[in-house]
Each structure stands twice: as C-alpha cells, then as structure tokens.
Structure 1
Amino acid sequence: MNSTKITLRETERKSQGKKSANKVLNMDIIFNPPINAENKYIQIMVDPLQREGYRIHELDGLFSSWKHFRSIRLVHLNWFENIDDGSLFKGFKSFFRKTFVLTVLHLSGKKLVWTMHNRMTHEKKTGKMSGLLTNLLLAWSDAIIIHCTLSRQLLLERSPSLAQKIHYIPHPDFVDSYGPAKATAPSKEEPLKLLFVGAVKPYKNIELLMETVGDMERVSLTIAGKPKDPAYAHALIQLARNRPNINLQLEFIPDSQLPELLGNTDLVVLPYDLNSSLNSGTVILAFSYQKTVICPEIGTLVDMQEARGNFFAYRYQDAAGHRQALRSAIKKAMAFKKQDEKVLVEMGKAMQDHILRHQPKSLVGNKLRKLYTKLSTD
C-alpha cells in the first residue's frame, strides 16, 4: 500500500511538472520591439520562441484590456532607454510614458528582462532622461541580458549587486538571413573597396570617415543606409562634393540587396564612437557574409580575441587620434590586398566560421528559452 502511494505521488509530481512546463511554453509575453523592418535581429530572437509556442505581443497593447494585461507574464525590452531627441516635447512625452510603463510593470510583479545593447544612449539631447530610465531598468529588471563580456564589467562597476541578474547570451549570427552570400573576385589592380552600411547617424562618425578616406588614393568608399533626417543627408552630400572616391547611397537598403552590396566590397568599415558603442549587429552581419571589418575595439570585438588576426580593430583617445588610427587601419588593409588579393576574402571566411562556432542562432534561441523558463518558474 505504501509503495502504491509513493508511486502515485511520483506520478502526480511528474504530471504537475509537465503541466508547468507546458504552461511556460505557451505563455503570453511581450517582446519589444516585436518587429524591426531594418534589422533581422528581432526576428532571429523571436522566431524560436514562437516555434516553441510562446505568444508574442506588442508593448503598445499592454493596457488594451484587463484580461490581456493579466495574461502577460514576462516583458522583454530592447533599446527601451533610448528617447527620441527630435524635439523637447517628444522627448518628455516619451520619457514619462516609458517611466509609467516601467512603474506599472514593477508594481504588478511581472517578470522584466532588459537587453543592454549600448554603453549609453547615442542621443545627446535626451541623455539625462535616458540615464534615469536606465537606472530604473537596472533596479527593476529580473534579468539583464548582455551580448559581450565587457557589458558585465560595466554593470558591476555600477553595482556589484547586479551580478545575479546578468545573463550572457551571444549576439546571433546573420548567416543567410538576408539571402546567400555572394562570391567575390577581388583584384590587386582595383582600389581597396570599403563599405559603411547601416543607419546613417552622427554617432557613427560618418563625417570623420569621409574626411579620412576622401584624400586617400586607391581607396573607394560606399556609404549605404538611411540618414537620420534630411538635414543630415544634405550635410553628407555637401561633404562628398569634390571627393570622387566616395559613393553615397543614402536610402534604406532592402534586404534583398544586402548580399550583393556586401559581395561587391573588400571589407566593411565602422568607425563607431567608443564612448557610447558597445555591441554591433553590423559587425556580426559583415562576418556572417564573409567580410572582415575595420572598427574600433568595441565589446563585440573584445570577445573575439582568438580571431583578432582576422579583423582590423583599433583604439583611440580623441577625434584626432581616431582619424589617425582609422587611416592606419585602412592602409594596413591596403597593404594586405596589395600583397595578396585573396587575403581579405580568407579573413572574412575565417570570421564567418568563428561566429558559427561561438554564436549560432540555435544556441541563442535555446539560451533565451531557458532564461524565460527559469524566470517563470522561480
């Protein structure tokens, strides 16, 4: 009889465990933003969750009804600390709205996950408000996802107590996300072909890049991406005048054109601001499509020290030092190509192999699901 009771209890526990697991897999969550037409990152993160049965909702619908609000068990925020600095009114409106949402989430006891993408906001005018939002996210998040180990160091410098909240999940690869990579046939006789691709914004030091490359011989530069606003686009067009080796494609680049754009270049150049930049999806994009990069040593590249010989990383202290370091890196790449036209191609292939080993989409999806399960069952 006792043996029968024990067996029944064990069966009951297993049954309860299965019900709990199914409840976790089928739970309603918010992943914000749920869609980003300009970046496959969101889709890569969300797709494995939806395949497992998670129901993904938009943050804007959180207060659509009491029933819906109660159904949401976990909220995952990306870039939530960023505030539009287009006008002071828009900035304050965004700040108070986001503060209200965070307060409600905190008081309601819903699990909160925040991904730390940058050192600080790139928007200068709303930096203080962004800092206040960041403080709330640090205090109220149940989990902080980081994509590079440098993020952990920066968080612990703020407060050692954050250690228990930090979860490292590598940035997923983009291999074939925009279509298959295009084969390249470089030639020693051609100039070194550089590409900047992505949203065209001031913090990315586009002007410094154009001024650096503009007077260099046997170097061509293509800048492809949508500018922050028409005024910034006009400023870049004026800067490109009398610099025939610079080609501007100041528009959103459709997904279908990215493989060809990357295939027609020798390497990608990304002269980011070290004061605010930490991770770079564009660096991962370049590596995913077998292109190496010239880029300051941001957190994404710090994590890749074992592959350091296959990309051009540099550091700088000020604008003058940045210009000099960038120029030196470009000249080094030129020398590599002159010596062997295939060397940059091989470096790009080596970096694709590296990220496929260390941060494939499948690994990232599994880690995210495990984190959600842990938070939901705590």
Structure 2
Amino acid sequence: MPDRRLRVMQSFGVPRSTTNPYITMLDEALAAEPSIDHLRFSWGAALRGRYDVFHWHWPEGKLHGSTWWKSTGKFVLTALLSVRHRLSRRIAVVRTVHNIALPEVNAARRRLLVSIDRQTAFRIIINATTPLSAGQRGTLIPHGHYRDWYAPQRHQPRIAGRLGTFGGIRRYKSVDVLLQAYAQASLEERTLSLRIGGKPTTPAIADDVRRRAGALRNVELTLAFLSDAELVELATQSELVVLAYRFMHNSGSVLAALSLGRPVLVPRNVANETLAAEVGDEWVLMYDGELDGRTLVEAWRAASALPSDAMPDLSRREWADAGAAHAAAYREASDIVDARARRYRRRRTP
C-alpha cells in the first residue's frame, strides 16, 4: 500500500519581501515537492485545521508582537497551539534547530519554548556540528546556498581595502569589537575602509555604533534593513566580510557572503572549522579570542590575494533536493508518532 500524502503545516506564512531568504527558498522547494501538501501558517488553520505534521522554525518568533497586548495575545495563541500538539496522538511536531540554546526570554515564555521542544518528535539540523541529545531523532539537511537567490542583483567589483559586515545588529554580533579592531587596523593600513549595513535591534545599539564610527575614518553606516540589492552591493564591493560574533553556529550571513564569492572572517569554532574544510579554508578565515587590528589586517591581505573570479565550493548546498529531503523527514516523524499511538492503543485495550 503506498504511503498516504502528508499534510504539512509550516510555522511561517506567505513569504514577504523582508522574509529570511532561507524561508522563502524552503517555501519554494516544499511547494514543488509532489509527495506532500505544503500548508503555510495561519492561526485559524494551525489551531483548528487538519494536518499531519507541524514544522517549527524559531518558535520564539510567535511570542512577540508590536505592543504588549499583541505579545500577550500571541503568547496565549502559541500556548493553545502547544496544547493541541501535546494532546494530539496524530500530529507529528518537527523542528529545525536554527539555534542551539533557547533565546533570552522571561520565565513564562521559556517554559512554553521548553514545552514545544519536548513535543518535538523529529529534528532537522542544518549544520553537521549541531548536537542532538540522547534519544532525540533527527537528520541533517544542510543550509542551502544563496547563489540563485542573489543572481538577479547586480554584483559590484571589489574595492581595494574595503571591509564589510551586514545583517541585523545585535549585541552578540559585536560590531563594537569590529570597530575597535578596525580603529587599530586603519592605523597600520591607511587604505582600509569599512561599510556596516543592518538594522540595530535597539536605539541604544544604533547610538553606540554611530558614536564609535564617528571617531574613525572611512567608515560608512547604513543602519537600516538592507534590501537584496543593497546587501549584494555591500558584500560584493568588500574584499573581506567580517562577522565578529561572540557566538556563531548557523549563520545565514556567512553563507550569503560565500554565495557572493567573498571570503569571511569569523571566530574559530567547530562549526566554522567544518565549514572551512567543506568550502576551502581560504574562504573561511578564523581568529581566536577577541578580534584585534593585527588579525584584521592579516585576514584582509589573505582575502585580497584571491582571484577576482574565484568561488568557494558550495556543491553540497544545492536546493534541488531540499524538498524531497524534508518530505523524508516528515515521513519519519509521522511514523514515529504513529508508532507511539499504536503502543498507546495496545496499552488501553483490555
């Protein structure tokens, strides 16, 4: 008997222009996959509709609204959804592990996120170094590249001495450390310039970046959400993209830079060492400890020596098979839940 066609609801709705490109490309891959019915999220359908699998991406995103009352309402709705999944003996919960640790949230939100994690029957990891706890079932589906996504945008020639960084500006991304290292590096290499693009999460962070950058020469700021065209311009004009994060595991910015043919400077850790081994260590330059000016200059010199037409090896990150790989994961998750339901029925049968 052939497997039934699974109805799979994602935790994301119809992608918008500001949606993470990973989600948009995954949405396209799932819509093209013939073995599943791909359902985009809505609260009504999630709470009352019929589906076999629910796939979570960043569940914490469902807990925040633009006002306190909207945040409260979203918390209540997410809690109700979690209750539905916990009580159901038919719905399989799948979660893509984008982040290793839970985000910093209040106690009530943390308890809800822990509950969602415990309901998860199957995990998809997008990085081979993402750990799974004992007894957790999961599979690796590598984060796809962005070459096709950014192909329609105009790619710029490299500007000699240009360093760049982009993405949402948060405390852990250490733009302050980058600016301090750049201040040291620009004393040694007067031709260096730095462009920073991305929306700060708070006005205080924006003010701090402006203050630090204002004291330096050849620093350009675009403290706002970058369109695809703006991101491609910033990245491709750079000889080196610098991501001085305090913690890095799955970074879309790293893959965006590599997809655009630009080397990156990142902190040394197991995930980045694995990525360097995959794509070529001349493309993933690493530093130990805190970034300083000497390290920044040495990395820039190595990056600027790459031929202008060189590209990293991203052959393991094609999107062509992403839909089928996710469908296989959904099937396995559904089988796990079906097996649990059969065991429950046997226990209940006199």
List gaps (5 residues or longer) in structure 1: 1-15, 317-321
**Is residue 2:141 matched to residue 1:169?**
yes
Alignment-derived partner of residue 81 in structure 2: 101
Q: Are residues 215 and 376 of structure 1, via their aligned partners in 2, closer, same or farther at CA, if it must alter by over 3 Å?
A: same
Quick one: structure 1 residues 201 and 172, their matched pair in 2 at CA, closer, same or farther if it must change by over 3 Å?
A: same
The answer to whether 1:207 aligns with 2:167 is no
Change (3 A) 1:305 1:140: same
The aligned counterpart of 1:9 is none
TM-score by length of 2: 0.81
Aligned pairs for 1:27-176 (under 5 A) are 27-32=7-12, 34-35=14-15, 37-52=18-33, 54-62=37-45, 66=48, 69=49, 71-81=50-60, 84=64, 95-109=75-89, 110-122=91-103, 124=104, 126=105, 128-129=107-108, 131-152=110-131, 155-156=132-133, 160-162=134-136, 165-176=137-148
Q: Secondary structure of 1:149's match? A: coil
Q: How much does 1:178 deviate?
A: 2.5
* Deviation per residue, 1:298-322 (Å, 9 max, x gap): 5642332422233212232xxxxx1
Q: Structure 1 counterpart of 2:174, which letter? A: N
SS in 2 for 1:309: coil
Residue 96 of structure 1 deviates from its aligned partner by 5.0
SS at match of 2:54: strand
Identify which range, 142-151 or 50-59, moves more after superposition: 50-59
Moved more, 96-105 or 215-224: 96-105
- Are 2:178 and 2:244, in contact at CA under 8 Å, matched by a contact in 1? yes
Which is worse superposed, 33-42 or 101-110?
Answer: 33-42
Pick aligned residue for 1:371 from 321, 325, 329: 329
Per-residue deviation, 1:182:
5.1
Structure-2 separation of matches of 1:29 and 1:44: 16
For residue 92 of structure 2, what is the amino acid of its counterpart?
Answer: K
Which residue does the alignment assign to 1:334? 300
Higher deviation after alignment, 298-307 or 200-209: 298-307
User: Is the contact between residue 210 and residue 239 of structure 1 (CA under 8 Å) also seen in structure 2?
Assistant: yes
* 3-state secondary structure, aligned to 1:361: coil
Q: 1:169-209 CA deviation, whole Å, 9 max, x = no partner?
A: 1001111303347555447xx3x211111112222111111
- Deviations, residues 338-377 of structure 1 (Å, cap 9, x unaligned): xxx442646xx342xx22x111111323211221233345
Q: Deviations over 1:268-301 (max 9, x none)?
A: 1111122xx3200111111111111011135642
Summarize the Cα distance change of 1:161–1:97 in structure 2 as closer, same or farther, 3 Å threshold: same
In 2, are the aligned partners of 1:179 and 1:259 still within 8 Å (CA)? no
Instruction: Give the match's secondary structure for 1:151.
Output: coil
Give 1:250-329 correspondences, 5 Å limit: 250-274=223-247, 277-298=248-269, 300-306=271-277, 307-316=280-289, 322-324=290-292, 327-329=293-295
Which amino acid letter does the alignment assign opposite residue 113 of structure 1?
V
Is the alpha carbon distance of 1:31 and 1:129 closer, same or farther for their aligned partners in structure 2, counting shifts above 3 Å? same
State whether residues 144 and 319 of structure 2, in contact with CA within 8 Å, keep that contact through their aligned partners in structure 1: yes
Compare relative contact order (CA 8 Å, sep 6+) and give the higher one, 1 or 2: 2
Aligned to 2:306: 343
Partner SS for 1:240: helix
- Cα root mean square deviation, aligned: 2.9
- Are the equivalent residues in 2 in contact too, given 1:173–1:361 (CA < 8 A)? yes
Does the CA contact (< 8 Å) of 1:34 and 1:42 recur in 2? no
How many angstroms apart in 2 are the aligned matches of 1:86 and 1:323?
A: 35
Q: Is the 8 A contact 1:34 1:56 kept in 2?
A: no
2:170–2:201 Cα contact (<8 Å) kept: yes
- Report what 1:319 is aligned to: none
Flag the structure with higher helix content: 1
Partner residue, 1:12:
none
Structure 2: distance between partners of 1:258 and 1:92: 34
Q: Which residue of 2 aligns with 1:358?
A: 316
Percentage identity across paired residues of the two chains: 22
Q: Deviations over 1:101-154 (max 9, x none)?
A: 2122121231111111112245x4x165554344323321111111112212xx
Q: Which amino acid is 2:193 matched to?
A: S
1:196 matches 2:165: yes
Q: 1:202 to 1:50 in 2, by over 3 A?
A: same
Deviation of 1:253 (Å): 1.2
Q: 1:118 is aligned with what amino acid?
A: N
Higher alpha-carbon Rg:
1
Change (3 A) 1:55 1:309: closer
Distance 1:259 1:149, change over 3 A: same
Given that 1:240 and 1:246 are in contact with CA atoms closer than 8 Å, whether structure 2 keeps it comes out as: yes
Q: Tell me the SS of whatever aligns to 2:330.
A: helix
Instruction: Pick closer, same or farther for the CA change 1:342–1:91 going to 2, 3 Å.
Output: same
Partner SS, residue 206 of structure 2:
helix
1:242 maps onto 2:215 in alignment: yes
In the alignment, the residues of structure 2 paired with residue 88 and residue 196 of structure 1 have an alpha-carbon distance, to the nearest angstrom, of 32
Paired residues of 2:14 and 2:40 also in contact (CA < 8 A): yes
Gapped regions of structure 2 (runs ≥ 5): 339-350
